[in-house]
Amino acid sequence: MVQLPDLIDAFKACSGPFPWRDFEKMIRLLGYEELPTGKTGGSRRKFRNHQTGHLIVLHKPHGPELGPGVVRIYRKELEERGII
């Protein structure tokens, strides 16, 4: 079973695609909960950390991985907030 520190290390070191299921697992272990997106949510996903109030809004990839650009955006955001 993959542990949170391993997921964080892999995410921080990633320069290419990152598995969606690992990203989702990592943010859930970091205290984020998925919020409902409403009737027209489509592939949009919202995750909120109820402790910090931080909100992550992104589109679930149609394939199994987040693209490199999305990885860079959320890695920077999570690092700047001191979450990872």
Separation between Cα atoms, residue 42 and residue 21, nearest integer Å: 18
Give residue 28's pLDDT: 96
pLDDT in tens, 37-58: 776 667 889 999 989 999 999 9
Q: Which residues, in sequence order, are CB contacts of 34 under 8 Å at separation 6+? A: 28, 45, 46, 47
- 24 pLDDT more than 90: yes
Residue 45: give its domain's CATH number.
Answer: 3.30.920
Query: Which residues, in sequence order, are bridge partners of residue 19?
Result: 65
**Number of separate domains in the chain:** 1
Stronger pLDDT, 30 or 43, i.e. the higher one: 30
> Please, which residues have CB within 8 angstroms of residue 73's CB and are 6 or more apart in sequence?
none
Owning domain of residue 73: 4-80
Query: Is the whole model's pTM more than 0.95, yes or no?
Result: no
Q: Which residue has the higher pLDDT, 10 or 2?
A: 10
